[in-house]
């Protein structure tokens, strides 16, 4: 009965949150767990197979991709598609999935799990499979050093029966092999593809003897083919991408002799696709089923998302750490056409309040003639501008525009495609702004009747600024009173 009340309370809280102008993505989970402290246990009871996806970069894309493939094959799934990946986000997905009475019975739960939240999630609902993707320095104010984070995650897995899908190319992930679980190692062959080079990389030291690892091939950051004199080295893969080919329409992978095609773009998505293929094969999907469903896959919002504005293709990608930013820049500069570069940086709790990581980005590689203009935007726009200046970018090319809307408007006036890097809390507003600009262009092109457009500017009273400010004040007061900051409630 307590669980049923938790569902009703969560659904009600989510509806009220949306009425007040919020997304309502996690509040149902917060309320449900307040009512029923063991709420996550019900996911284990009412789902045949539970899959967790964790790591620093690529979780949301991989989670959505796995969910899509399984759903396409006829499985009944539950997933947190929106990327709310703390235990409250998982609980919120359960609330959304549950009917008003009783529980939905699902074949597979596919849950993105925040690295720091994994121990709590495992304790409340042990998974059958855990996909561990990669580890990079990320939000040091919240996670601490990578070594400490990994040890906490490993400790939470020691007593449970779980099958691990591990990135063989990441020496940090390889450390999970010490748990002596049943492991599936996935990775890219040494000559599978060529990632662009950049000067800044992650730590490449052996976790056993602290000697510097020797690499026969580096894909990016510390990912590649490594070996240490003490015997620690890249394990033999069970699933390997022998070839990865990028085209304007997406990427093509040859995995263990079989070809897979996806509309996802960006070489780094090869890892995301490879993890999805590996997990789905573990769940007994055939190669032909995976191929058929993969061609219909969609990327998550803000992950190399494209917008047609002023007849030019703009691109938006989420960045939250040096490794992700460097790969994004490398992808942006595959094209030599004239462009603008916009870097939107916030320091809200979800972004990480420590922004020192921007100094580890190889922003010097962006100092190119084809970049006609640089825009520093977001709450920490001035910090971005300073980093750009120290990267050698001429001051006359740097524009400081904290407002995201004004930054887009300024860039639109240049009639040059813009490539945008954005931290987490900048992402959703930018998707909305850019979608609106794209839709305006489409309406102008097709001569839409101007009268229906009036609805665009007519907002309900709950959406007016004063109510948003009131709601933000209440939210901040709640955070301060509860002291939750970046911790799980």
- Do the beta carbons of residue 92 and residue 29 sit within 8 Å? yes
Which residue among 124, 170, 354, 449 is the active-site one? Answer: 354
Active site residue 354: yes
Q: Is 40-294 assigned to CATH 3.40.1190.10?
A: yes
Q: Residue 230 pLDDT > 50, yes or no? A: yes
* Whole-number pLDDT of residue 192: 86
- Do the beta carbons of residue 66 and residue 291 sit within 8 Å? no
* Whole-number pLDDT of residue 443: 53
Q: Residue 103 pLDDT > 50, yes or no? A: yes
For the ranges 227-236, 258-267, 295-304, the one whose mean pLDDT is highest: 227-236
* Whole-number pLDDT of residue 14: 84
Tokens 């995650």 belong to residue: 153
- Do the beta carbons of residue 298 and residue 426 sit within 8 Å? no
Question: Which residue did the predictor score with more confidence, 203 or 385?
Answer: 385
Beta bridge partners of 419: 315, 341
Can you spell out the DSSP letters for 301-363? TTSSEEEEETTEEEEEEE--SHHHHHHHHHHHTTS-S-EEEEEE---STTT-S--GGGGGS-G
For the ranges 203-217, 375-389, 471-485, the one whose mean pLDDT is highest: 375-389
Binned at pLDDT 50, 70 and 90, residue 474 comes out as very low
Question: Which residue did the predictor score with more confidence, 303 or 203?
Answer: 303
Task: Please state the pTM of the whole predicted model.
Answer: 0.79
* Whole-number pLDDT of residue 377: 96
Q: Residue 439 pLDDT > 80, yes or no? A: no
Distance CA 450, CA 295 (A): 37
Q: Residue 403 pLDDT > 60, yes or no? A: yes
Q: Residue 480 pLDDT > 50, yes or no? A: no
* Whole-number pLDDT of residue 419: 95
φ, ψ at 398 (rounded to 5°)? -95, 125
Q: Residue 461 pLDDT > 50, yes or no? A: no
- How does DSSP classify residue 13? H
Ordered by start, the domain boundaries in the chain are 40-294, 305-445, 451-482
* Whole-number pLDDT of residue 304: 82
Q: Is 305-445 assigned to CATH 3.40.50.300?
A: no
Beta bridge partners of 318: 422
- How does DSSP classify residue 101? S
Q: Residue 447 pLDDT > 70, yes or no? A: no
pLDDT digits (tens, 9 = 90+) for 66-80: 999 999 999 999 999
Q: Residue 124 pLDDT > 80, yes or no? A: yes
* Whole-number pLDDT of residue 196: 64
Helices (H) and strands (E) in the chain, counts: 17, 17
Question: Which residue did the predictor score with more confidence, 106 or 456?
Answer: 106
Q: Averaged over 387-396, what is the pLDDT?
A: 95
* Whole-number pLDDT of residue 48: 95
Q: Averaged over 122-138, what is the pLDDT?
A: 91
Question: Which residue did the predictor score with more confidence, 234 or 250?
Answer: 234
* Whole-number pLDDT of residue 207: 84
pLDDT digits (tens, 9 = 90+) for 258-288: 999 999 888 888 999 999 999 999 999 999 9
Least confident among 205-209, 281-285, 373-377, 466-470? 466-470
* Whole-number pLDDT of residue 205: 82
For the ranges 18-32, 95-109, 295-309, 363-377, the one whose mean pLDDT is highest: 363-377
Q: Which of 313, 334, 420, 339 is nearest to 376 (CA)?
A: 420
Q: Averaged over 360-367, what is the pLDDT?
A: 90
Distance CA 275, CA 297 (A): 14
Percent of the chain with pLDDT over 90: 56
φ, ψ at 91 (rounded to 5°)? -60, -40
* Whole-number pLDDT of residue 455: 39
* Whole-number pLDDT of residue 331: 82
Binned at pLDDT 50, 70 and 90, residue 302 comes out as confident
- Do the beta carbons of residue 431 and residue 302 sit within 8 Å? yes
* Whole-number pLDDT of residue 100: 83
Q: Residue 54 pLDDT > 50, yes or no? A: yes
pLDDT digits (tens, 9 = 90+) for 138-176: 554 444 578 888 999 999 999 999 999 999 999 999 999
Q: What is the mean pLDDT of the chain?
A: 85
Q: Averaged over 410-416, what is the pLDDT?
A: 92
């Amino acid at each position: 009965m307590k669980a049923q009340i938790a569902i009703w309370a969560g659904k009600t809280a989510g509806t009220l949150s949306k009425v007040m102008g919020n997304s309502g993505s996690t509040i149902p989970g917060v309320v449900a767990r307040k009512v029923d402290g063991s709420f996550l246990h019900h996911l284990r009871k009412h789902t045949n197979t539970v899959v967790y996806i964790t790591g620093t970069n690529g979780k949301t894309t991989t989670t959505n991709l796995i969910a899509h493939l399984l759903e396409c094959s006829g499985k009944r799934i539950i997933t947190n598609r929106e990327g709310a990946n703390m235990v409250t986000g998982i609980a919120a997905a359960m609330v959304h999935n549950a009917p008003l009475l009783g529980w939905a019975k699902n074949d597979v739960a596919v849950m993105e799990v925040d690295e720091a939240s994994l121990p709590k999630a495992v304790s409340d609902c042990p998974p059958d499979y855990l996909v561990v993707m990669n580890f990079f320095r990320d939000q040091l104010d919240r996670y601490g050093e990578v070594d400490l984070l990994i040890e906490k995650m490993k400790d939470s897995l020691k007593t449970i029966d779980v099958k691990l899908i591990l990135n063989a190319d990441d020496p940090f992930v390889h450390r999970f092999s010490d748990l002596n679980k049943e492991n599936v190692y996935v990775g890219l062959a040494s000559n599978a593809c060529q990632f662009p080079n950049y000067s800044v990389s992650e730590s490449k030291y052996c976790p056993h003897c602290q000697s510097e690892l020797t690499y026969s091939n580096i894909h990016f950051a510390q990912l590649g083919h490594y070996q240490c004199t003490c015997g620690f080295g890249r394990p033999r893969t069970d699933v390997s991408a022998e070839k990865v080919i990028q085209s304007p329409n997406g990427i093509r992978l040859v995995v263990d002799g079989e070809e897979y095609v996806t509309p996802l773009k960006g070489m780094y998505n090869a890892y995301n696709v490879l993890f999805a293929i590996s997990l789905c094969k573990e769940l007994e999907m055939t190669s032909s089923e995976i191929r058929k469903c993969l061609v219909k896959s969609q990327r998550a919002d803000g992950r190399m998302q494209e917008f047609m504005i002023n007849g030019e293709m703009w691109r938006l990608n989420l960045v939250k750490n040096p490794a992700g930013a460097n790969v994004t820049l490398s992808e942006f500069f595959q094209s030599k056409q004239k462009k603008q570069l916009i870097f939107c940086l916030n320091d809200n709790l979800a972004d990480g309040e420590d922004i020192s990581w921007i100094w580890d980005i190889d922003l010097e590689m962006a100092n190119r003639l084809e970049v006609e203009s640089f825009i520093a935007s977001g709450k920490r726009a001035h910090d971005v501008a300073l980093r750009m200046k120290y990267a050698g970018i001429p001051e006359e090319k740097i524009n400081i525009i904290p407002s995201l809307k004004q930054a887009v408007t300024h860039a639109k006036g240049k009639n040059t495609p813009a490539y945008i890097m954005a931290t987490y809390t900048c992402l959703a507003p930018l998707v909305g702004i850019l979608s609106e600009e794209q839709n305006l262009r489409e309406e102008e092109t097709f001569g839409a009747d101007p009268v229906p457009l009036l609805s665009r500017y007519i907002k309900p009273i709950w959406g007016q600024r004063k109510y948003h400010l009131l709601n933000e004040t209440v939210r901040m007061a709640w955070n301060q009173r509860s002291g939750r900051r970046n911790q799980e409630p």
